[in-house]
A and B are shown apart, each in its own frame.
Chain A
């Protein structure tokens, strides 16, 4: 079964600094890859997704992610964080085949703290 690992439970970044959140997946083929953000008391919002093609994908709120097949990674980046980026970030995968009927498999999440 596929799995998703987010090695960093918490990350603290100063406002204006760059950010990279790590995500590794385990799956026999290239899955669909997603990054979601969850603000306190809110549902999950899709930041970006990767299916195929260009390995660098752009998302909303200035985020981007790079798919690296050789490393089974899909790290999320932002060049300059804002205080409003403080939230929980989830990496997720869906099956490439099988119609995705099984839903998403999520990592445990990374809690992002922004220092003023």
Chain B
């Protein structure tokens, strides 16, 4: 158990809909990263938040957004969903922002868009 909790574990929704994925980081970790894992693109970094502030964006679509709340949990919002958004979405947390800081991954949310 990494200490990172993601909910829900599975989500099935229709095209055009909006969903919210939730991540609770390890106790004390200030950084939250979101990643998308799909068969064609592999694991891709989406966005990084540190202590409530956005620190970096990766290959995140404009239809996607995220935020980190004062209690440090984070939410990833996916809107106007398309079939191609079906993927496993991972959250990872770390104590800091340094490149060498070990990131701990949750078990992911599997999103299926039908």
A residues lining the B interface (CB < 8 Å): 31-32, 36, 41-46, 49, 51, 90, 94-109
Known A43-B4, A94-B100, A105-B45; 16 more pairs at CB < 8 Å: A31-B99, A32-B99, A32-B100, A43-B108, A45-B2, A46-B102, A90-B43, A96-B99, A99-B97, A99-B99, A101-B48, A101-B55, A101-B56, A102-B48, A102-B56, A103-B56
B: contact size bracket: 20 to 34
Interface centre among A51, A106, A107 (most CB of B within 10 A): A106
Shortest CB distance B93–A (Å) = 11
B residues lining the A interface (CB < 8 Å): 2, 4, 33, 35, 42-45, 48, 50, 55-56, 58, 90, 92, 97-108
Partner of B102, one of A49, A95, A103: A49
Interface centre among B50, B98, B107 (most CB of A within 10 A): B98
